[in-house]
Amino acid sequence: MKRIKIMGLALVAVFAMSAVAVSSASAKTVLTLRAGGTPLAAGTHIVAVSHNLVTVTAAGNLECETDELEEVVLNNESTKDKGTSETGMSRNFGTYLGIPGACKTSAAGPAMITTSNYPWPEEATTKGTNVTKGTKKITFTSEFLALEGPNNKCTFEDAKITSTFKPGAHGSPTPLEFTTTNAKFKLNSKAPGTAPICPKEGLLSGNWTVTLTNEAKTPVTSEL
């Protein structure tokens, strides 16, 4: 009888250890985005802001003082946290040569930037990648104010932009900051108003800081 009891206790221990092993194996690492310590709920508006975004081309560089990409959170605390940017949520602007809204180009003077092909789905993963896609393609058009129209535009497109970030360890959230490095955009030479000076491609690079869209601009953090 004593042997049976000992065997029974051994079996209970084995089953308990198996349950822990199964539970550990089935647990998934998720990415949690927070603001003020609170996980972001679906429907929350956040904005990624860059002050050093530059598009490098063979015909010169394009720079804006500020670039903003606003996003609505669709889900959080997942292996793939998703959001979407809708029409009008991307803004590129400056005051080059004192012109409100104008960005700087090194070859063609001031330029006004417009973006299109929304919505732009967003996806941040536990691997530290953030992918922005367009509806077909992410598209931005530069209109050069110093050139006489109608052929005074360059339209560039890319299927997606992949950026990187470093999520914090569990319990140690870090500011959500993306880095974009040499994202390649190709010229759409068939777009209306294409100027003869347009280069065939441009490489987009810069850093983004993510906050809420509230007046306090509460920082957004990430952790695994």
**Neighbouring-strand partners of residue 144:** 111
Would you say residue 5 lies in a domain?
no
Neighbours of 188 (CB within 10 A): 16
Report the largest interatomic distance among the alpha carbons of the chain, rounded to a whole angstrom: 100
State how many domains the chain has: 1
The span from the CA of 189 to the CA of 157, in Å, is: 10
Q: What is the pLDDT of residues 70-119, one digit of tens each?
A: 999 999 999 999 999 987 778 889 999 999 999 999 888 999 999 999 99
Rounded to two decimals, what is the model's pTM? 0.85
E strand residue ranges, the chain: 32-35, 38-39, 45-50, 54-57, 60-63, 66-73, 80-85, 90-93, 103-105, 109-116, 120-125, 129-144, 153-164, 174-175, 177-187, 201-212, 220-223
Q: Of all residues in the chain, what percent carry a pLDDT higher than 70?
A: 88
Would you say residue 1 lies in a domain?
no
Would you say residue 18 lies in a domain?
no
Task: Flag whether pLDDT at 9 surpasses 70.
Answer: no
Q: Which residues of 119-141 are buried (b: 16+ CB within 10 A; e: fewer)?
A: ebbbbbbbeeebebbbeebbbbb
Tokens of 65: 């003082």
Q: What is the pLDDT of residues 179-211, one digit of tens each?
A: 999 999 999 999 999 999 999 999 999 999 999
Would you say residue 47 lies in a domain?
yes
Tokens of 95: 């005051």
Would you say residue 173 lies in a domain?
yes
Would you say residue 142 lies in a domain?
yes
Q: What is the pLDDT of residues 111-141, one digit of tens each?
A: 999 999 999 999 999 999 999 999 999 999 9
Would you say residue 25 lies in a domain?
no
Res. 147 pLDDT band, cuts 50 70 90: very high
At 19 the pLDDT is 43
Would you say residue 207 lies in a domain?
yes
- Cα-based distances in Å from 119 to 70, 99, 158, 174: 11, 29, 14, 28
| Containing structural domain, residue 58 | 30-223
